[in-house]
Structure 1
Amino acid sequence: MVEQTLTFEQYLAGLPPERRSEVERVWRAVRENIPAGYAERIGDKFLTFAADDEQLVALASQKNYISLYLMPLYVFPELKAKFDAAAGTKLKCGKSCINFSRAEDLPLLTIAEILTACPDVKAYKAHLLQMRAEAQRKRKPG
């Protein structure tokens, strides 16, 4: 399935009016702090930055909330600890996302620091491959 490519303005125009400024504020913080080399993709459902096919960050407007998918929290434990300390317990987190209604609910400065701390594309992909290989070894019996 090929995802439709939109401009950022087209994506925003497709959102409910009350969501536009929230999404715009969060995505601006992401754009300003994403390391060089990651490609921005804008589809009808998600805004993403990825290293080829490996997502680093995504944002989506869901039915009842907005979701920020911040992969560094799941692959770099030290960045997860930093986020948890800044966010406290006020945020609702899913298995792979942070759900929120207002941008002000997010620790945007900490998110900016987390993105800035991410490695370049080549190192990020190598880290993911290493993590997957380790997980595979742990699953094998014996």
Structure 2
Amino acid sequence: MHIAAKNPEAYISKIPQERIPYFKTLRKTILENIPNGFEEQMSYGMIGYVVPKSLYPSGYHCDTNSPLPFINIASQKNFIALYHLGIYANPKLHDWFVNEYPKHCKRKLDMGKSCIRFKKAEEIPFKLIATLIQKITPKQWIALYEKNIKR
């Protein structure tokens, strides 16, 4: 589900009304916990958190004019999604998250390579998400990206 919006507030105003409080809380959780250096912007039709070109001039290998993506959040047709590229690039972080998730949520984890899907917005484990967000600095993300993803 693509939502055309020029800024995060416009994006949030266009998602289903019943999701707005949870989505705002997810965004707030990210903004309050993401390490310094990442920037919030619209990215790929979602709210994104990126390493700006001022910190990583090479940009994203798929589009070197774009900053290096790290996290995106989106309201999809049937769920709220958190895309965390660090989980994709770092097996230890992935395993930590998979092991911690059941301690915070009764629902089975619904996860792809980097996408965590929350079909029941009221069950988003915000405390766990806050801890996850704190685990990688921009410098660490750049190193992981160059080692594991950029070719």
State the secondary structure of the residue aligned to 2:35: coil
TM-score (norm 1): 0.78
In structure 2, the CA distance between the partners of 1:17 and 1:118, relative to structure 1 (3 Å rule), is same
4+ runs of 1 displaced by more than 3 Å? none
After superposition, the C-alpha distances for 1:29-82 in whole angstroms (9 at most, x for unaligned) are 111111111111136830110113221111011111111101121222222222
State the secondary structure of the residue aligned to 1:93: coil
**Is the 1:72–1:114 contact (alpha carbons within 8 Å) kept by the matching residues of 2?**
no
What is the letter of the counterpart of residue 148 of structure 2?
A: M
Task: Tell whether 2:126 aligns with 1:108.
Answer: yes
State the alpha-carbon separation in 2 of the partners of residues 91 and 132 from structure 1: 25
What is the letter of the counterpart of residue 115 of structure 1?
A: I
How far residue 5 of structure 1 moved from its aligned partner, in angstroms, is 6.0
Task: Tell whether 2:94 aligns with 1:80.
Answer: yes
Which residue does the alignment assign to 1:128? 145
State the secondary structure of the residue aligned to 1:92: coil
Cα RMSD, aligned residues only:
2.3
Gaps of 5+ in 1: 137-142
Structure whose CA Rg is larger: 1
For this pair of structures, how many residues does the alignment match? 130
Choose between structure 1 and 2: higher helix proportion: 1
State the alpha-carbon separation in 1 of the partners of residues 19 and 95 from structure 2: 28
State the secondary structure of the residue aligned to 2:71: strand
TM-score (norm 2): 0.74
What is the letter of the counterpart of residue 16 of structure 1?
A: P
State the alpha-carbon separation in 1 of the partners of residues 115 and 140 from structure 2: 23
Gaps of 5+ in 2: 53-66
Q: Tell which deviates more after alignment, 29-38 or 76-85.
A: 76-85
1:117 to 123, 131, 135: 135
What is the letter of the counterpart of residue 113 of structure 1?
A: T
What is the letter of the counterpart of residue 128 of structure 2?
A: T
Which residue does the alignment assign to 1:32? 32
In structure 2, the CA distance between the partners of 1:44 and 1:76, relative to structure 1 (3 Å rule), is closer
Q: Tell which deviates more after alignment, 122-131 or 66-75.
A: 122-131
What is the letter of the counterpart of residue 132 of structure 2?
A: I
